Structure 1
Amino acid sequence: MTSALGLPLVAGLLIVFWKLAGADYASARLLIANPVVAVLMVMVIVNFAVHMRLGAQVVIEDYVHRPVLKPLLLMINTGTAYSAAIVAALAVIRIAAFG
């Protein structure tokens, strides 16, 4: 599901990157402050964080065989993915809210 949703999100993100090409810092902040762009960015961040978590989870489940280590790595994987998503989403929200 995250892969299928990622395709149109990447298309939208590429349009944003195209508009940001050659832009200065103030113009980039202004573009990211646009509500449509901010929502797109947050959706991309959340989608890819979940996608990353699921991919790493499969690797951990398939290749880690120690009974104590596997649940620990799965918890670290989930915490890392969602922490990164929260920090990135809050950065976008801060730019969108305060310019």
Structure 2
Amino acid sequence: MLIFLFFLITGIAFGYFLSGKYINKTQKFFLNISILLLLFFMGVSIGKDPELFDKIAGFGFQAFVIASSTIFFSIIGVLIVINFMENKQ
């Protein structure tokens, strides 16, 4: 737990003392790499557990309905906000 806190504080210090476009480009690069690595290792963990893979297949339709509903209602919400903002102007 302390190692996570150490890296968080170190990142805050770098962000505070070293600002500029160079840091933003570098930060974006490392953020993308870390997300890709996280997704890769999550995939490896799922692939290693055959029981989990079968459970995911069983949840397929339910996950599809939940994801589709979330997307649909997010779009509806954005359209409502856009309509509301245009009427105020």
TM bucket normalised to smaller? 0.3 to 0.5
Q: Which has the higher contact order (CA 8 A, sep 6+)?
A: 1
User: TM-score scaled by structure 2?
Assistant: 0.39
Q: Report the TM-score when normalising by structure 1.
A: 0.36
Give 1 or 2 for the bigger CA radius of gyration. Answer: 2
Which structure has more helix as a fraction of its residues?
2
